[in-house]
Structure 1
Amino acid sequence: MLKTIIAFIIIFGVLVFAHEFGHFIMAKRAGIKVLEFAFGIGPKIFGYQGKETLYSVRLLPLGGFNRFLSAEEIQAGRENGENLDISEQELRDHSFENKSLWRRMLVVVAGPIMNFLLGMALFVFLFAVFGVANPQNVNIIGEVSKDKPAAAAGIVAGDRILAINGVNTPDWNSVTAQIHAHPGEEMQFTIQKAATNEVVSLEITPEYDQQSKQGLIGITPSYTMEKVSVGQSIKYGIQRTIEFTRMLILYIVDMITGKVPPELSGPVGVGQVIHEGVQQGMSTLVTLTAVLSINFAVLNLLPLPALDGGQLVVMIYEGIRRKPLSAEKKGWIQLTGFALLIALMIAVTYQDIVRLITK
């Protein structure tokens, strides 16, 4: 359990730090003064005052923020007793609200972009160190997904699929051809068990997968790891990032349109996945961090208040009307979005706990 907690804190800390550093570095490039770069949320543990930025570490390492120079921040700081000696000239030249629309949008989008880059870098690292999985065209199962038909039927990694509905399946291509073509139909699987070499007959019904439009039972082929060059690792890392981002966007669209039921996970669900990753080893944890980083990037770009995507929508609206929204309206938008975000977090955390209890 201690290893899981440490891994949880490190993974989320890395994701949040990369995200906030993206905002920070782009703000610096845009000539915006950053009053504070905070790692973590809650009460401040310690901080270092740089030339113009306070670098602080907060109590809970599950978030972070940047305080950009603005009239609102100056007012809030003075109300909190901070001694902010900011001239009107500095406010005009280096405040967030006085920069052009495009520069402000770049600052906002830089956080998600940094998470995309982090995910890509981790995939490149994986391929460079561990190699590329090379699937074998044999009828031996490599991995079995939890809560899928194969797992429910008692199939485990290493089992061999000899036949399906009386049709011999000597290789993986013949296995998938049968499964993909019969979604929703009960099928007779002839399985040679890895542990005992005993041949058993199992009835399994493939699920219809909305994305691939075919039947699946939750199995993957066995594979060998093939060493690749650094150049190939970079190529595969970019491909994997694009591929996973595309899959995630399509899944979100399918959830919104009702094609697939919403399956969301909160901190408890993610913690359970990290716990399983800790047990499986370093390569699984690195893969999980890469996947979560890309998830973090895509979700932050959704056009919802309190997220980066919501801020982009507000900025685009201000650009179209050529007039900024009042601070009061922006405050209500942020407050509403934050309340919705908390409500959603509570709901998915409740679902996570129910799933854990009923397992």
Structure 2
Amino acid sequence: MKDVAEAANVSVSAASKILRGDVSRFGEATCQRVLEAAERLGWRRNLLVSSIQTGRTQTVGVMIPPYDSFWVNVLSGIHKRLAEADYLPITVWQGDLEHMPHFEADEQEGLKQINRLLDRRVDALIMWPTFAVAYRQHIAELAERKVPVVVIDYQPDEPFCDTVGTNEALAAKTIAKHLLDLGHRRIACISSRESKSQTWALERRQQFERAVTFHPEAKVKSWRLNSEGSNGVEVATEILTCDFRPTAVFAVSDHEARDVYEAAITLGLSIPSDLSVVGFADLDFAAHLTPPLSTLRQRPREIGAEAASIVLRRLDKSLSDSNVESKIEADFILRESTGPAP
């Protein structure tokens, strides 16, 4: 910095301010001299020194794995918004992708990852639901450290952090109305594991059941996967061969919808002639199923950007002390997997 200041014929203080972007009090020519000198001499910011001076590392811990196309796009939204504010996301997860989404069985490993980020003095944390369960037990420590936390797709019984998710109630009503308008009156719902971190699946199913039963002639029956989430095709087969004999199935995610497709093919059922299927998320494979899947398209990039924006607003203290609960709308995508009730 001293060399840059000398080369540009300004004080060290002035060079420091200009190179940090504080150019309002200096002339254009002065700023240009400093910038040219810095480039010529190969000067680079030392953020370690800056973090000591400001108490901020300009980093955000992002505890979200690239599990599927939804979460990949959430990460994209987070990264873009943080980059705009000159913050760096540090993305970690526990275990390996082959064992997802069941890696939360080792909760201590999740806590270890949280501590790795805190030991590196991240300014805030953005988490997916599994880590939120582990975080909840350590809320006092994080609150004491004044580390803002935003959780995506998790709705705790008692609010303890900021959350961002999908407007599940409106989305469920949209799907129910679509199937009811097509004349379906026996409708099944196949849910996920509904583990303690999958509050999104529980709310999605319950809101759908409520929306269907509002119709006086319609009946809905729900199934869910086992605790490992490994029996999707078996559950789908049970749904399609039980006495209830649904004419339509709503799957709480496109993953379960794909299981319904596989079971229907094995049983010789035609989609949508014999059975209508609706998914949720519009994952990257949904449009390539045969037939293409009707589904609720979430807005993952918008969800990620919103989570990052809340973190930034917490850091600049522009939010009140009350917890933020942000809901992002979803869009119904009509494809060939739904049709009139047979």
Query: Shorter-chain TM-score: what band?
Result: under 0.3
TM-score, normalisation: structure 2? 0.23
Instruction: Give the TM-score, by structure 1 length.
Output: 0.22
